[in-house]
Structure 1
């Protein structure tokens, strides 16, 4: 079994769990290993999660390079989705930036604050549309109950 990725063929899901925040080169290496795995099939979605204690060192250049890689990969394996599990507000903001940057591409990206919400969304991934309420609804009172 690979130390970073796991493939669940029944759920059509590749789960990536990072113990430390990866470089783009490491992301490419692991994702390409997952795609080359005989259990992988085009159309599988990806779940990105990481150890919460490790800092997220992603800069805007990192996000742009990651998005470019995901878009190129979508040309190779077809349209698919990425759910990014975040563990603090800064990570969530970076995830939302990726989500916004990928708006017109073949890869759909969404950021989530819980793994359960991410897994639920991956059952039927749809792009965020502020006019349509999808699970989970992006309501400030739901995300931050202290503001209600």
Structure 2
């Protein structure tokens, strides 16, 4: 078993769990190993998570390089999605930057604050649209009571 990535064929998911924040070279190396794995198939999505408490050293240059790499990767393996789990407000802000920098590309990136929400979204990944409700509300809204009916 690889120390960073795990492939779940049934869920069409590659999970990356980092013990420390990866350099771009390490990120590329691990992703290249994952897509070369015989269990990997085009159309699989990626879940990025890491050990809470480790510092996120991503700079603006790192974020730009990451978006570029993921767009090139999409040219190689086809359109796919990345769910990034953030454990701190700073991590979430950087993940949201990746999300906004990837708009209009072949890869869809979304930031999440829980692994469960990220996994749920990866079942049907869609780009963020501020006006569109992608998931039914859990509780009826007084403005739109039909949102939670079903």
8 Å contact kept, 1:117–1:136: no
1:74 aligned partner: 74
Query: 1:78-111 deviations in whole A, cap 9, x for unaligned?
Result: 0000000000100000000000000010000000
Aligned length: 137
2:49 aligned partner: 49
1:141 aligned partner: none
Structure 1's consecutive aligned runs of 4 or more residues displaced over 4 angstroms after TM superposition are none
Structure 1 residues 55 and 136: CA distance shift in structure 2, 3 A: farther
Alignment partners' CA distance in 2, 1:113 and 1:56: 15
2:135 aligned partner: 135
Structure 1 residues 38 and 114: CA distance shift in structure 2, 3 A: same
1:116 aligned partner: 116
1:14 aligned partner: 14
1:135 Cα deviation (Å)? 3.4
1:84 aligned partner: 84
Alignment partners' CA distance in 2, 1:72 and 1:87: 27
CA RMSD, Structure 1 to Structure 2 (Å): 1.1
Any gaps of 5 or more consecutive residues in structure 1? Answer: 138-148
Any gaps of 5 or more consecutive residues in structure 2? Answer: 138-150
Q: With the length of structure 1 as denominator, give the TM-score of the two structures.
A: 0.91
